[in-house]
Structure 1
């Protein structure tokens, strides 16, 4: 299995978008049932350190929900794309190898991407983290598991966001973005102050080229083809350490309480942050979450004034 820096399951060298997207080829019955599909004994995993993967269809809210966790708890959010760009910028051995492969127009092998990821994870034995962008396939998942188990730091939680295909399609159809900042609006539940214009700058909003049903259908099929076997692996006895939790809902606001409860239940010792929002920027999804929070505060203020009038 190899990587191409264009579409999932690849890692992009270009700036990572704030959202991810993928004929409606698979039914919702493919989703794993809600609940704890895998709960391993305390003897196998001490349960003290959160080492987490999050999966979900394109547009399911992975970035938003990960950012909320990072905002609330002492967790590092690690983007595979960010780590790769850092290696290239710092001219490390891995970075030079990856840059040369890409410059030749070749595909980046899984073992190179694994080195990029594990070079960071090896220094985080006692830290809570969420890994974004890897693994994307069954083979990559097994490679990562083998490495982490050899380091005595296996995965401890895998979250699957189960959002219906039709809900996500409706989201992306109503989505508009301010490309310079990455701010995202939705005409159904998060409208801009003035339709078609960014709240902060007043500049025009645009549609992403891949926010259309045809491209979404292709990416959704790709998700089912590559990620469903990976989720089945984490639900099977072959996964000896990580708990697999499948969460259902139509919006991130509906899923967030479930995710928060799952983290608290499985990792009761995890600490909440005592620092300001400005100090928890660890991934490219964080600025998006900040803007979401600002708009949520504005909506609450408007609702409050309406109630008083």
Structure 2
């Protein structure tokens, strides 16, 4: 099963990716992991990527797609793979298509911006242990302090409301056009496109996705 997982930050992609990789015995392939591995191994693409990153520039689509092609040829991808964080743009999606990389299903997790802001900006973290709370869904026993140590909880920079809204803006501008791209491919019978309401219990969402993909 070759899957692309789409959705805004905070929609729960990480949780669903864990379920799908386990269910179908496939690896989760993320842009960051691929770049780190290629740089560490000193591959030709890795060295190119390192030079670009060291110069403070964005890694080109050609390098990203090259890394994807290299990665999916490995043995652990014989049952398929789950792409996470790639493609991000229409040119990347087109390049994947042009490279002959077939995608069985595209799963889009849908969640309204305001719900995402509420979900992410309400998170509180105990830095030393990594324990995470939520002021609405999973509050600490005493407001603002860790249940175990009594130490103060903090809001991570990534969870600040303005940061969340900025990330959502980038998602809508860059990644949302992929929805139309893959819906069009689905209409041509070249992949399955699945829209999922992410404003539900994670187990319900996971069950629905797996059931549909296995149908």
Could you tell me whether the CA contact under 8 Å between 2:123 and 2:135 is conserved in 1? yes
Q: Hey, what's the Cα distance between the residues in 2 that align with 1:76 and 1:226?
A: 25
* Structure 1 segment 40-51 matched on structure 2, within 5 A: 50-51=1-2
Mapped pair 1:185 → 2:133: yes
Farther-moved stretch of structure 1 (250-259 vs 226-235): 250-259
RMSD: 2.4
Q: Hey, what's the Cα distance between the residues in 2 that align with 1:202 and 1:122?
A: 49
Q: Give the corresponding residue for 2:56.
A: 105
Give the drift of 1:262. Answer: 1.7
Gap regions ≥5 residues in structure 2? none
Could you tell me whether the CA contact under 8 Å between 1:176 and 1:205 is conserved in 2? yes
Q: Deviations over 1:42-81 (max 9, x none)?
A: xxxxxxxx10011111100000111122234412111221
Q: Give the corresponding residue for 2:190.
A: 241
* Structure 1 segment 31-46 matched on structure 2, within 5 A: none
Instruction: Please give the secondary structure, in 2, of the residue aligned with 1:86.
Output: helix
Q: Figure out how many residues of one structure are paired with residues of the other and give that number.
A: 211
Gap regions ≥5 residues in structure 1? 1-49, 266-309
Could you tell me whether the CA contact under 8 Å between 1:198 and 1:205 is conserved in 2? no
Q: Hey, what's the Cα distance between the residues in 2 that align with 1:189 and 1:62?
A: 18
Q: Structure 2 vs 1, CA of residues 203 and 131 (structure 1 numbering), >3 Å: closer, same or farther?
A: farther
Give the drift of 1:128. Answer: 2.4
Mapped pair 1:170 → 2:104: no
TM-score normalised according to structure 2 size = 0.86
Could you tell me whether the CA contact under 8 Å between 1:198 and 1:204 is conserved in 2? no
Mapped pair 1:134 → 2:86: yes
Q: Hey, what's the Cα distance between the residues in 2 that align with 1:117 and 1:182?
A: 31
* Structure 1 segment 266-277 matched on structure 2, within 5 A: none
Q: Give the corresponding residue for 1:30.
A: none
Give the drift of 1:181. Answer: 6.0
Higher relative contact order (CA closer than 8 Å, sequence separation 6+):
1
Q: Hey, what's the Cα distance between the residues in 2 that align with 1:55 and 1:253?
A: 18
* Structure 1 segment 272-287 matched on structure 2, within 5 A: none
